[in-house]
């Protein structure tokens, strides 16, 4: 049984954080960690505040402490991966995320298509596209379609598969994956931009440029649009 005083002080500290009083929340969590060193929730919640304060290195220390004492603490591996990514350690982020995903049953909400796409993106950012494809292959074989209510994220793994295949200079396979993402009713504009990149890569440049120009007015300031423009320029196309 936990200490009622701990429960009360924890609730107060969490409320401070939720209200945006991050400095006061951090001070409250510092006291909780000092007074209740064996309570992992205090460490985890302090890590969340530290992340919001852009003090990722300190947050990583708290998350490592939590994982050392409770490897299955809910959310700890996910936030550890995010923090490591933001600290410029995408391979560690990818391996951490993959470990987390494999620890959950296929029907668990936390192993949605977006979660697997994030894992693949970490591997891709780490310069390990083959590892990204391998992670996605696990998703497609074991997890796809198993999370009821998370259908919004179905296109994400195909989008990352297409991006990875483009990085591996396998444009026709990339186009097939991008088309699969774009056929889904839950597709997002980023799926279309990856398809544009794949179209250009397989030589369908007129179609690629035409689709890009149709989207310019609405999306020209976004990163997916800029990525598509950069790919088309690399292929020698004169894109404004």
CATH number assigned to the domain comprising residue 62: 1.25.40.10
Confidence band for 4, pLDDT divided at 50, 70 and 90: confident
54 φ/ψ sector (left φ>0, alpha ψ -120 to 50, else beta) = left
- The answer to whether residue 59 is domain-embedded is yes
| Contact between 153 and 192 (Cβ < 8 Å) | no
- The answer to whether residue 146 is domain-embedded is no
**Residue 2 confidence (pLDDT) above 80:** no
Give ∠ CA 108-11-27 in degrees, rounded to 5.
Answer: 110
Sequence-ordered list of residues with C-beta below 8 angstroms from that of 3, at least 6 positions apart, any chain: 36
**Domain count for the chain:** 1
Q: Which domain holds residue 6?
A: 1-88
Q: What pLDDT does residue 16 have? A: 95
- The answer to whether residue 2 is domain-embedded is yes
Q: What pLDDT does residue 3 have? A: 79
Mean pLDDT to the nearest integer, 155-184: 98
User: Which of 145-149, 157-161, 198-202 has the least mean pLDDT?
Assistant: 145-149
Mean pLDDT to the nearest integer, 212-231: 94
pTM for the full model? 0.91
Buried b (16+ CB within 10 A) or exposed e, 16-45: bbeeeeeeebbebbeebbeebeebbbbbbb
CA 17 to CA 9: how far, in whole Å?
13
Strands (E) located in the chain: none
- The answer to whether residue 104 is domain-embedded is no
Q: Which two tokens stand for residue 191?
A: 């799926």
- The answer to whether residue 237 is domain-embedded is no
Q: Which two tokens stand for residue 32?
A: 């909780």
- The answer to whether residue 60 is domain-embedded is yes
DSSP state of 184: S
Q: Helix or strand or coil: residue 125?
A: helix
Q: Which two tokens stand for residue 216?
A: 């310019």
- The answer to whether residue 111 is domain-embedded is no
- The answer to whether residue 23 is domain-embedded is yes
């Amino acid at each position: 049984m936990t200490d009622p005083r701990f429960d009360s002080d924890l609730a107060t500290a969490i409320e401070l954080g939720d209200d945006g009083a991050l400095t006061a929340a951090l001070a409250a969590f510092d006291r909780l960690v000092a007074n209740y060193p064996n309570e992992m929730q205090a460490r985890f919640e302090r890590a969340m505040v530290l992340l919001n304060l852009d003090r990722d290195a300190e947050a990583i220390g708290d998350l490592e402490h939590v994982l050392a004492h409770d490897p299955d603490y809910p959310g700890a591996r996910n936030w550890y991966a995010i923090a490591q990514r933001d600290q410029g350690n995408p391979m560690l982020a990818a391996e951490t995320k993959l470990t987390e995903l494999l620890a959950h049953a296929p029907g668990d909400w936390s192993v949605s298509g977006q979660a697997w796409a994030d894992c693949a993106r970490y591997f891709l950012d780490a310069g390990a596209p083959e590892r990204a494809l391998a992670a996605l292959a696990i998703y497609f074989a074991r997890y796809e379609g198993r999370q009821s209510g998370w259908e919004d994220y179905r296109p994400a793994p195909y989008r990352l598969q297409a991006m990875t295949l483009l990085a591996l200079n396998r444009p026709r396979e990339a186009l097939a994956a991008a088309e699969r993402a774009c056929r889904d009713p839950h597709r997002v504009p980023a799926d279309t931009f990856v398809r544009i990149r794949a179209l250009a890569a397989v030589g369908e440049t007129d179609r690629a440029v035409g689709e890009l120009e149709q989207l310019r007015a609405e999306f020209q300031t976004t990163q997916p649009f800029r990525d598509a423009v950069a790919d088309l320029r690399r292929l020698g196309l004169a894109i404004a």
